A and B are shown apart, each in its own frame.
Chain A
Amino acid sequence: MAQPNDRLYTKTHEWIILAGGEATAGITQYAQEQLGDVVFVELPAPGKKVEKGAALGNIESVKAVSEVFAPMAGEVSATNGELETHPELVNQDPYGQGWLVRLRVAPGAADGLMDAAAYEKFLAEEGAH
């Protein structure tokens, strides 16, 4: 499946769009399929500072809890309040209305992330296991 070209990806299946000093992050189509029906999303309070790769929050299905990791270091500037009442948006529109958080990030923080083509290759390799 083709991944949107307008963003970067992590090996833990998060995506991130950089616009100036602000980044919007969510989880990928592949990740939401693996999770199944999302029933609850726990996100950090705005103002929280996170290191790259640190736990950003939890996404729960009926019988599993998955941690979401910060694709970049930064400070949480906003979270998607819609998910409180409509967690299913993560399933229905993971790249759009199902976004999770906005982060204020430092320049150059995107090192080591994959573009869409690299992520698709990574998925193909993962699937082969």
Chain B
Amino acid sequence: MSETRTLREREGLIFERSSAGRVGYQLPPLEVPQADPASTVPAGLLRGEIDGLPEVSEVDVMRHFTRLSKWNYSVDEGLYPLGSCTMKYNPRINEEVVRLAGLAQLHPLQPSDQVQGALALMWQLEQALLAVTGMARVTLQPAAGAHGELTGMLMIRKALAARGERRAKVLIPDSAHGTNPASAVFAGFETVEVASTPHGTLDLAAVARHLDGGDVAALMVTVPNTLGVFEPEIVKAAAMLHEKGAFLYMDGANLNAFVGIALPGKMGADALHINLHKTFSTPHGGGGPGAGPVAVSQALVPHLPVPMVEREGDRYTLAYDRPGTIGKVRGFYGNFGMLVRALAYIRSLGRDGLKSMAEGAVLNANYLRTRLEGDYHLPYDGPSLHEVVFDDSIQAASGVKNIDIAKRLLDYGFHPPTMSFPLIVHGALMIEPTESEGIDELDAFVAAMKAIAREAREEPDLVRGAPYSTPVRRLDEVRAARQPVLRWRRPDD
């Protein structure tokens, strides 16, 4: 074992590296008279140095976080086929332009004549997202997909209120991502789960029954759904909803499957959130930040959150005067840094590149589907788009579950697929390769999956004990939950 690896393995918490007297940053000279806080603030409201904060040098900090970084797997390193998460390549030009001082340092409360470039950029992004969705307007404010869902559902609530109605129910297919029901509830609705058809798609008859029962505000549906299957009757569903005065909320987590090919506006969507961190390549950042702009139909335009960026001639303004608005959903105007990156990506790809992106995503997923079918069981065998969902039923015969396959993949140097949903597939392996991968990378992944399928038959214990080559082995999640340790404390505390 090399010395570097040993050092890396030994790296503790930053607090444990602390050594009295070390400093990691030096401020310039104060230049003005020192001011005693106690001269302006009562002593009881003051504090001194904060106990437990570390004392480390700049070098210590660089080494510490560099070593931590080496324990992570990332898109820069290889295929990251997390279904529905769309882990595609994050272009570096986007990181360069977002750091320009005229964008990165801009204060949100500068008068609008000082921020015309930022407002123009946001307006351009809205136009691009309108082109991609065929909707009427877009709010760029939501900070993430779930935040977009909430914003969309609040608009639907407001639209109903504007015509003097209160409806309680939101229909959600059982294949939905968990944020859908949670967001609907925080928008003041109750959720009704709709069972999927045997093909894993929306059950139109069930939707009709619920609509006949009354009190339905909206249907929340992901297109293509979490199986990667396009909802064949989405247009009919939208018409049924609209006829009863209800709305269609479309979860755009999988929009990357049909950009440049089809338009949610033509499908009848009333609200659609767009995860810029999925379809438009803004980096996932180890859990965020994302951005979840919401595109709406004409019916919801009056209810968009404030402010909206408006253009008058060649001037841009932030408009707050919107009588039907749901109000503000966050501080300021959106995750601007993510908006910059997304527009840079859209400009880099252009009209043909965006379509080619969707084609590549769908072709790559279907290639993996073809190569792995037989080794892994396909619970729903209809045509799929940008992702494919296998299950572990073949491997389960020898006691190997999806989580074991996932952990063994780590030994082969790949990040595993999504396993936590869709809930309609037991032991799911939801694979989304994205368009970023070439055939060589995909073939290497196929080889690993096939090897694991063989191991599951011949040496199931090997698979069940994986991983072996990662910085740590399987972690005891039961202990973490039974006796939560959520922060560092000094050993003598």
Contacts and interface: CB of A to CB of B under 8 A. Distances in A.
A in complex with B: yes
Interface of A: 37, 39-40, 60, 62-63, 87-88
A40 B478 CA distance: 10
A59 to B, nearest CB: 12
Given A39-B481, A40-B482, A87-B482, 10 more contacts: A37-B478, A39-B478, A39-B482, A40-B481, A60-B481, A62-B477, A62-B478, A62-B481, A63-B420, A88-B482
A62 B484 CA distance: 12
A62 B478 CA distance: 6
Contacts of B481: 39-40, 60, 62
Interface of B is mostly: helix
A83 to B, nearest CB: 11
Contacts of B478: 37, 39, 62
Interface string B457-483: 000000000000000000001100110
A37 B479 CA distance: 10
A88 B477 CA distance: 14
A39 B478 CA distance: 6
A39 to B, nearest CB: 4
Contacts of A40: 481-482
A37 B420 CA distance: 18
Nearest to A62: B477
13 contacts: A37-B478, A39-B478, A39-B481, A39-B482, A40-B481, A40-B482, A60-B481, A62-B477, A62-B478, A62-B481, A63-B420, A87-B482, A88-B482
Contacts of A88: 482
Contacts of A60: 481
A39 B477 CA distance: 10
Contacts of B477: 62
A20 B477 CA distance: 42
A46 to B, nearest CB: 24
Interface in B289-307: none
A88 B481 CA distance: 11
Q: 6 closest pairs, A vs B, by CB?
A: A39-B481, A37-B478, A62-B477, A39-B482, A62-B481, A62-B478
Contacts of A39: 478, 481-482
A88 B478 CA distance: 10
Nearest to A36: B478
A29 to B, nearest CB: 19
A13 B321 CA distance: 57
B153 to A, nearest CB: 23
A63 B420 CA distance: 9
A39 B481 CA distance: 6
Contacts of B420: 63
Interface string B164-200: 0000000000000000000000000000000000000
A37 B481 CA distance: 10
B426 to A, nearest CB: 13
Contacts of A63: 420
A2 to B, nearest CB: 26
The residue among A39, A40, A63, A87 with the most chain B CB atoms within 10 A of its own CB is A39
A40 B477 CA distance: 13
A40 B76 CA distance: 38
Contacts of A62: 477-478, 481
A87 B478 CA distance: 11
B182 to A, nearest CB: 13
A62 B420 CA distance: 12
Nearest to B482: A39
A87 B477 CA distance: 14
A28 to B, nearest CB: 21
A104 to B, nearest CB: 31
A16 to B, nearest CB: 27
Nearest to A39: B481
A64 to B, nearest CB: 11
A63 B477 CA distance: 10
Contacts of B482: 39-40, 87-88
A75 to B, nearest CB: 28
A87 B481 CA distance: 11
Nearest to A40: B481
A40 B482 CA distance: 7
Nearest to A60: B481
Contacts of A87: 482
A39 B482 CA distance: 5
A60 B478 CA distance: 11
Contacts of A37: 478
Interface string B417-432: 0001000000000000
